[in-house]
A and B are shown apart, each in its own frame.
Chain A
Amino acid sequence: MIDMPQTLTKVDVGNYQTLAHQAGKVIRLGEKEIALFKLSTGEVKAVENKSPHPKGGTLADGLVSGSFVYCPLYDWKISLNDGKVQAPDEGQVKTYEVIVEDNRILLLI
C-alpha cells in the first residue's frame, strides 16, 4: 500500500436517525476506537475514545452537556468541537470531522 497521509477517506459508521442523543457510541475501526456523540442540537461529534488524562481511560460513557463531554474517570471537561480540555486542566483529544449525508454518518479518517 502507498502511504498517503494527506488523503482522508470517508467511512460510513452508521445510521444518523437511530443514533441516540447524549450518550457516546463506541465505534471500532481496526485498532482505533472512536466515540460518537449526538448533541441535543442534532450535530454529531467524533473523538478518539481515549481520555487525554495521563492515567488514560475512555470517554464514551461520560456525561454530555452542550458540546462538552465530562471524562467519566477524572471529570475533565473536554470540548467535542476541538478536543481541547477546559481549564484548569490541560490536554487535547483527537477529533474527527463528521459529515451527515442521506441519513448516514460519515467520518473523515
Chain B
Amino acid sequence: MEKKHLVLIGNGMAGVRVIEEILKLTPDAFHITIFGNEPYPNYNRIQLSNVLQGKTTVDEIFLNEWEWYRENNITLYTNEAVAKINPQLKTVVSTTGRIVAYDELIIATGSSSFILPVPGTNKQGVTGFRDIQDCENMMEVARTYKKAVVIGGGLLGLEAARGLIDLGMDVHVVHLMPHLMERQLDKTAATMLKEELEAQGMKFLFEKQTSEILGDDRVTGLRFNDGTEIETDLVVMAVGIKPNTQLAIEAGINVNRGIVVNDFMETNTPNVYAVGECAEHREITYGMVAPLYEQGKVLAHRILGLEVAPYEGSVTGTQLKVSDVDLYSAGEIIDDKSTKAIKVHNEFEGIYKKILVRDNRVVGIVLYGDTKDSTKLFRMLVDKEDVSGKTSASILDSGCCGGSQADMSVDSMPDTEIVCGCNGVSKGTIVEAIQTKGLTTVDQVSSCTNAGRSCGRCKGLVGEILAYTLGDSFDATKTNKKTLCGCTTLSRDEVVAEIKEKGMMSTKEVMNVLGWNNEEGCSKCRPALNYYLGMLHPEEYLDERDSRLVNEKMHANIQKDGTYSVVPRMYGGVTNAEDLKKIAEVTEKYDIPLVKLTGGQRIALLGVKKEDLTNVWEDLGMPSGYAYGKTLRTVKTCVGSQFCRYGTQDTMQLGIDLEKKFERLDTPHKFKMGVSGCPRNCAESGIKDMGIVGIDGGFELYVGGNGGTDLRAGDLLCTLKTEQEVMDMISAYIQYYRETANYLERTSTWIERVGLDHVKEVLQDAEVRKELTTKLDRSLTRYNEPWNEALKNQQIREKYYKTEEIPEVLV
C-alpha cells in the first residue's frame, strides 16, 4: 500500500514532538515533510534565555540534529515557510513556490512576539525575543551599544533583561503594571523578585505605557504616554506572544485567538490539525512546553488512528530562568474568599511560599527563594489531592529530599523546617529552646521563640514538638541534628541553602559568612564545601585544589609508605596491545614494584614515587582513571553481544560511552557502574551504584547497589528501550544524587534515606529529567584531564609534585 503523506508546518518543539511520537508508535506510517522558516533544525526555544545569559551556546540547544531528519527519512525544508494551505486540493505552497500534497496536515506555526502598536517599531534596534535570530541581534547590539530597554516585566522580559545585563548593558525594564509577573506572582513575591533583580543591577519603570519609539533610522529612546522619555540603544519587546494564525485564517480554518482545535487537536477542516502555541484548546492557548507535549502525544495517536484519551487541558507551572532567583508558580495566584492560604514569609532568608487551598485541594502555588517542593506541590495540585488530613507544615515542606513521606510526623520533620510561618521559626530553633531553657509549655515556647504568637495556627504543632522533645525520644532528638562538622552548628542542608541564597563562591567566604569556629575549616568541611560549591555553581565556581584531600589533590592514591598508585583510564575495561606494552615499559623504566588488576577491571601500578608521578603519566600518555576520586570510578562491562552467545546488548560499547560521558564528574562519593548483557550479570550490575542489565529489546537499570561496606543489592529503577534513554535516565539519576546526597554519602545509604519510590517519582517526570540532565551537562563542562594538565602546567608540577634536593651548604 502506498504510504500516506504527512506534512508539518513549523519545525519547532511542538510539531517535531508530534513527529517523534508518531515515529515511536509506528515508524513507517507516513512519508513526512517538514517546513521550517528558520535556518536551523529543531531547537530548544526555552533555552534561548540561557544562550543570551551566556550559560549555553546555540549549538548546544539543538534538540534534533540534521542526522535525525535523515535517519528517519524526513524531508526537511528550512528557511522556507509555507505561504498557503489549500484544503480543497489538500496541498500546501511554500514561499519558494514548492507545492506539496498532503493526506494529513499539522499546523505548528507557534507564535511571535507581540509588537506594540506604537509608531517607530520598525526602527533598527527594536526586536522581539522569540528565536535564535533575535538572540543574535541582541548579542550583536550589546557589542557596540550600552543602553537597553525591555518592554514587559513578565517571564520573557525579565529573562531577556538579565541576559542583556550579562552582556554588559545598562538595562531598564518598563512595565505597564505596578508589579512584576503579575500573572504568576502575588505582590509579596513580586516585590522580593524586584529587590533581588535590582541587586543584580536591573532597573525598573512601573506603570509606564509606551507611546512612541524615538529615533531616525535607529532607536534612540522611548516616550511614554505621561510625556516622560528614556534614552536607549535597544528596545526588546517582551509584552506577550500572539499565535501565528494567518495561514489558517486564509485557508478558512476556524481561528479565534489561536487555531481552534477539539480534544484531539483536530481543526474544523478535515485532515488538518494544529498543535502547540498556535492552537487554541477550550479557549486557552498555551506557551509552556509541558502542555504542548501532552497535546503532541494525543495528536500522534489520533493521526495514526490509535485509541487515546482526549486532551482535556493542562495546568502549567512557571519557573523563571534567571541566575540566583528561585521562583516557581502554578495555578491560581491571588487569594479570594473561597481560598485559604498557607503562607510562609521568611524575610531574613528571603523565602516566601504561598499555597492556595480551596475545598481541601491545592489550587495555587507561589514559591520564592526555595522551590524544592515545587514538584510535590504541583503534583498535589494536578492530582487534586485531598489535603484535609495534612498539617500545613507537611504540605509546605518536604525537607531536602524526604518528599516521599506522605505525612510528615514531628519525628521525621527536618530541623530546618519552618513551624511558625508568621515569625519564621524552625523546628530546630524550638527544639533547641526547649532543651536549653527547660521549657515545658506551649506558651513558654511562644514567649521564648515567638512561635505561635501571631496567628496561632501552629500552636498545635508546637505542642507536638514539645511532647516529642520531652518524651522518651528526647535523647534521639538531641543528637538528631547532624552538623556538617565540628567547625559549625549548621547542618548540611542549612549550609547548602545559605550557599545558594547568598551566592557564595569560595570555601573561605562560606566559613567567614557563616561564622565557622575554625577560620580555615577542617578536613571534613573543606572537601564537602568544595563539592557543594562546585555542584551549585558549576560554571562560576573555581575548584579549590587545596580543599581536596590527598588523593584528589594529587590525582593518585597515596599508599601507606607515602608512595602512590597510578591507574590509567581503560574505558569499559577494554584495552589493547599498544597500551599494555606502554604499561609494561613504564613499569620497568620506573622500577614500579607491583602491577595488579583491580576489582573495577583496570590495571594499577603501585608504589610509584611521588617525584616520578608526572613522568609516569607522560610516558603512559593515557588519561587518569580517577581510581582515587569521589567521582565515576569505573564502568565494568561484560563481553556482551560482540562475542558472547548469551549477550543481548553491546555492553562494552555502552560501558565505554557511559564512562566517556560521566568521567571526572564530582559526585558526593565514589560512583561505580556495571553493564551486563544478560541476567547472568558478569559485570556484577546488581551491586553497583548504577547497574545496567541488558535484556531482549531493552535495559534494566538497578540502583543503590553496593559490594563494599554497605553490602546491598541494587533496586530496579526502571526498564528502558534505547541506549539514549539509558543515558538520559542515568544523567538525571546522577544529578539528583549529586544535588540531594550528603557529601560522602554513597548511593546505597542515600537511596535508603530518601526512598526508592521518591526517586522513581522524581525521575518519572520528563520535564524534571530534562532539567536534571541539562544541569548535569553543564557540570560536565567543568573538567580537564588532570594528568595532562599537570604536564602542561609548570605551577602545578612545582607546587604538588616536585621534591627539592638541597645540597648541605652553609649560609
Measured CB to CB, the residues of A under 8 A from B are 9-14, 18, 20-23, 25-30, 33, 40, 49, 55-58, 61-66, 70, 72-73, 75, 77, 106
Chain B neighbourhood of A25, CB < 8 A:
799, 802, 804
Inter-chain pairs besides A14-B806, A26-B802, 8 sampled, C-beta below 8 Å: A13-B804, A20-B798, A27-B806, A57-B560, A61-B554, A63-B527, A63-B549, A65-B518
Which residues of B, 522-549, contact A by the 8 Å Cβ criterion?
522-523, 526-527, 546-549
Contact pick for A29, options B520, B560, B806, CB 8 Å: B806
B547 touches A63 (CB 8 A): yes
B548 to chain A, nearest CB (A): 8
B804 touches A65 (CB 8 A): no
Given contacts A12-B809, A57-B562, contact A65 B800 (CB under 8 A): no
Chain A neighbourhood of B558, CB < 8 A:
57-58, 61, 72-73
Given contacts A11-B811, A28-B805, A56-B561, contact A66 B518 (CB under 8 A): yes
Chain A neighbourhood of B674, CB < 8 A:
none
B546 touches A13 (CB 8 A): no
- Count how many pairs of residues, one from A and one from B, have CB atoms less than 8 Å apart in the complex: 95
Chain B neighbourhood of A57, CB < 8 A:
558, 560-562
- Distance, CA A30 to CA B808, complexed state (A): 8
B804 touches A40 (CB 8 A): no
- Distance, CA A18 to CA B794, complexed state (A): 12
Q: Confirm or deny: B791 has a beta carbon within 8 angstroms of a beta carbon on chain A.
A: no
A28 touches B562 (CB 8 A): no
A sample of 22 inter-chain contacts (CB < 8 A) reads A10-B810, A11-B808, A11-B809, A11-B810, A12-B806, A12-B809, A13-B804, A14-B804, A20-B798, A20-B799, A22-B546, A23-B546, A26-B802, A27-B804, A27-B806, A28-B806, A56-B562, A61-B558, A63-B526, A64-B546, A65-B521, A72-B558
Chain A neighbourhood of B75, CB < 8 A:
none
- Distance, CA A49 to CA B548, complexed state (A): 19
- Distance, CA A56 to CA B560, complexed state (A): 7
Chain A neighbourhood of B803, CB < 8 A:
26-28, 33
Contact pick for A65, options B520, B548, B553, B561, CB 8 Å: B520
Which residues of B, 780-810, contact A by the 8 Å Cβ criterion?
795, 798-800, 802-806, 808-810
B804 touches A9 (CB 8 A): no
Chain A neighbourhood of B560, CB < 8 A:
55-57, 73
- Distance, CA A10 to CA B808, complexed state (A): 9
Q: Confirm or deny: B766 has a beta carbon within 8 angstroms of a beta carbon on chain A.
A: no
Q: Confirm or deny: B610 has a beta carbon within 8 angstroms of a beta carbon on chain A.
A: yes
Given contacts A30-B808, A65-B523, A77-B522, contact A23 B799 (CB under 8 A): yes
Complex A-B, nearest 3 residue pairs according to Cβ-Cβ distance, in ascending order? A58-B562, A72-B550, A70-B523
- Distance, CA A28 to CA B802, complexed state (A): 11
A26 to chain B, nearest CB (A): 4
Chain A neighbourhood of B696, CB < 8 A:
none
Given contacts A26-B804, A56-B560, contact A9 B810 (CB under 8 A): yes
Q: Confirm or deny: B519 has a beta carbon within 8 angstroms of a beta carbon on chain A.
A: yes
Q: Closest chain A residue to B520 by CB distance?
A: A65
- Distance, CA A1 to CA B505, complexed state (A): 57
Given contacts A56-B561, A57-B560, contact A23 B804 (CB under 8 A): no
Chain A neighbourhood of B802, CB < 8 A:
25-26
Chain B neighbourhood of A62, CB < 8 A:
550
Q: Closest chain B residue to A30 by CB distance?
A: B808
Which residues of B, 486-530, contact A by the 8 Å Cβ criterion?
518-523, 526-527
A96 to chain B, nearest CB (A): 13
- Distance, CA A49 to CA B810, complexed state (A): 22
Q: Closest chain B residue to A29 by CB distance?
A: B806
B531 to chain A, nearest CB (A): 14
B808 touches A29 (CB 8 A): yes
Contact pick for A72, options B522, B549, B809, CB 8 Å: B549
Contact pick for A63, options B519, B523, B808, CB 8 Å: B523
A22 to chain B, nearest CB (A): 4
Chain B neighbourhood of A63, CB < 8 A:
523, 526-527, 546-550, 553
B551 to chain A, nearest CB (A): 8
B546 to chain A, nearest CB (A): 4
B522 touches A61 (CB 8 A): no
Q: Closest chain B residue to A69 by CB distance?
A: B523
Which residues of B, 733-754, contact A by the 8 Å Cβ criterion?
none
Chain B neighbourhood of A14, CB < 8 A:
804, 806
- Distance, CA A106 to CA B810, complexed state (A): 10
Chain B neighbourhood of A55, CB < 8 A:
560
Chain A neighbourhood of B550, CB < 8 A:
61-63, 72-73
Contact pick for B526, options A10, A33, A65, CB 8 Å: A65
Contact pick for A12, options B519, B549, B811, CB 8 Å: B811
Chain A neighbourhood of B810, CB < 8 A:
9-11
B103 to chain A, nearest CB (A): 69
A80 to chain B, nearest CB (A): 12
Chain A neighbourhood of B809, CB < 8 A:
11-12
Q: Closest chain A residue to B487 by CB distance?
A: A65
A61 touches B553 (CB 8 A): yes
Which residues of B, 565-613, contact A by the 8 Å Cβ criterion?
610
- Distance, CA A62 to CA B459, complexed state (A): 51
Chain A neighbourhood of B547, CB < 8 A:
63
- Distance, CA A92 to CA B562, complexed state (A): 18
A10 touches B811 (CB 8 A): yes
B806 touches A23 (CB 8 A): no
A70 touches B522 (CB 8 A): yes
- Distance, CA A30 to CA B809, complexed state (A): 11
A11 touches B806 (CB 8 A): yes
- Distance, CA A29 to CA B809, complexed state (A): 10
- Distance, CA A21 to CA B317, complexed state (A): 49
Contact with A along B629-644 (1 / 0, CB 8 A): 0000000000000000
- Distance, CA A11 to CA B547, complexed state (A): 31
Q: Closest chain B residue to A74 by CB distance?
A: B560
Contact with A along B2-14 (1 / 0, CB 8 A): 0000000000000
Q: Closest chain A residue to B519 by CB distance?
A: A66
Q: Closest chain B residue to A109 by CB distance?
A: B808
- Distance, CA A57 to CA B610, complexed state (A): 13
Chain A neighbourhood of B520, CB < 8 A:
40, 64-66
- Distance, CA A74 to CA B558, complexed state (A): 11
A83 to chain B, nearest CB (A): 18
- Distance, CA A105 to CA B809, complexed state (A): 13
- Distance, CA A9 to CA B711, complexed state (A): 56
- Distance, CA A25 to CA B805, complexed state (A): 11
A79 to chain B, nearest CB (A): 13
Chain B neighbourhood of A22, CB < 8 A:
546
- Distance, CA A30 to CA B550, complexed state (A): 26
Given contacts A25-B804, A28-B805, contact A65 B610 (CB under 8 A): no
A32 to chain B, nearest CB (A): 9
- Distance, CA A45 to CA B335, complexed state (A): 65
Q: Closest chain B residue to A34 by CB distance?
A: B806
Chain B neighbourhood of A56, CB < 8 A:
560-562
A55 to chain B, nearest CB (A): 6
- Distance, CA A28 to CA B772, complexed state (A): 49
